[in-house]
Each structure stands twice: as structure tokens, then as C-alpha cells.
Amino acid sequence: MTGRMSGKAVIVTGGALGIGFGIVRRFVQEGAGVLLVDLNEKAARAAAEKLAAGPGRVEVYPADVSAEETGEKAVARCVEVFGGLDVLVNNAGIFPMAPVLEMAPEFLDRVYRVNLKGLILFAKAAASQMVAQGRGGRIINIASIDAFRPSMVGLAAYDASKGGVVMFTKSLALELAPHNITVNAVAPGAIYTEGVAEAKVSMEEFAKRIPLRRVGKPEDIAGVVAFLASADADYITGETIVVDGGA
């Protein structure tokens, strides 16, 4: 790695497993200090142990991103530990499945609290800190290709929440541009993670529809996130980069 994030302070939500862990690992490899926010404290601490050799550093912050006060508290903790905040990666998300005709209101509320409301409140807290610091910053939201087209029946709530992420990214980018804070999103396609394995989704079927003939890895997303967080992406804001093997 280039060490281009050395000295930077980063928050990654949902960073204990899957895509989130891949992102945390990339930032640590590039020398950043990372506040790993995750509801699964055991997995978060195991992730931190795996990355203890550095060159960056991981601090675990166990929390539920859907709780309204979590964003502000996490940002305050990041400032306390690392002296500021340069990058927020809103990665935490859930994708429980239910057809719309069988969907309970509580189901819909839960998906929206985690995937969209929590993301917005984290972005608000991070942006407030970045504006106060006066040196710009990066906010990177993890969306999905399902923001643009449904991949299967049963993900309507998830798909709608991720569509909201894409439009929120554009809106916040417009608002924060005068402060030199860029806001972008990454839309992963089929990525093999622990969550996908638990959902028992057939990755072989997805792979048949992908021109590159393989499903993605967390590293495929982490590399794009690291690019958007770097000086190489200084003139990119309000965009969503699709990373799906050409699907």
C-alpha cells in the first residue's frame, strides 16, 4: 500500500465483517486510524485483533447505527481517539427478505432505520465535525446495484432504501461542496460475504450473469472506497460508482 492515508482519521460503520472489514483493512494498510463501529462487538474486536500489526490503528466502538444518538457519539469518540475526522464510510446495512405483500410495518421500519436513517444521521454528524475543522473531508456511502434495478423478489425494502442512499448522496454533495467535503457512493454488485452465506443466496447463479464470470470480493469494494477517500478523487462528488463485474 502507498501509505496515502497515514495520519487520517476514519470511521467505518458495519466494519466487523464482509465488505466493511475489507474497507477497514484497506485503510489500516494505508496507515489510517479507524474507528470501527459495529453492533457485533465480538466480531468487531476479533477484526481489530486481526489488524493489530498495523501500520494503521483500529479502535472498536460497539453501537447500533440505527439509534439516533450513535452518529454524534461515534464522531465524538473518533475525535477523542484520533484528534479529528477526515473520512466517514457509511457501510452498515441489512438485507432481510420479504415480499411486499407479506411485509410487516416493523420490518420496513427496521430496514429504513439501519440502511437510510442511520446513514443520514452519521453523515450529518460527520459533516458537522468536518465543517468545524475547516479542512474538508470525505463521506462515502455504500449503496447497491439494487438501487438501480432489483436483483430478486423479496428485497423491495432494501432496494428502496439503497435508492434513497444514492439520492441522498447527490443532495448532500451539493450542500457540502462549499466546505470542500466530497460525498460519493459505491454500489456493489454480487459480493461474497458472511451475510450472503447466511442468507443462502446462490452465488453461482449470480456469477453466470456477470461478464467477468465471478462474484466480487470485499477487496474489490475496498479499493474503490480508498480511491474516493484519496487526493486522487478531489474533483469527484455526488457520484455513485458501480462495482459489479460488468453486470
Catalytic residue chosen out of the listed positions 112, 158, 192, 235: 158
DSSP for 95-123 reads -----GGG--HHHHHHHHIIIIIHHHHHH
Cβ(63)–Cβ(70) below 8 Å:
yes
Q: Is 158 in the active site? A: yes
Classify 238 in phi/psi space as left (phi over 0), alpha (psi -120 to 50) or beta: left
Q: Retrieve residue 54's grid coordinates.
A: 498495523
How many angstroms separate the CA atoms of 36 and 105, rounded? 30
Distance CA 98, CA 37 (A): 27
Which H helix or E strand runs over 135?
none
Query: What is the rounded (10 degree) CA torsion for 158, 161, 163, 166?
Result: -130
H/E segment holding residue 130 = helix 118-133
Q: Where are the beta strands (DSSP E) in 33-77?
A: 33-38, 57-62
CA atoms within 13 A on the CB side of 38: 26
Active site amino acids? 158
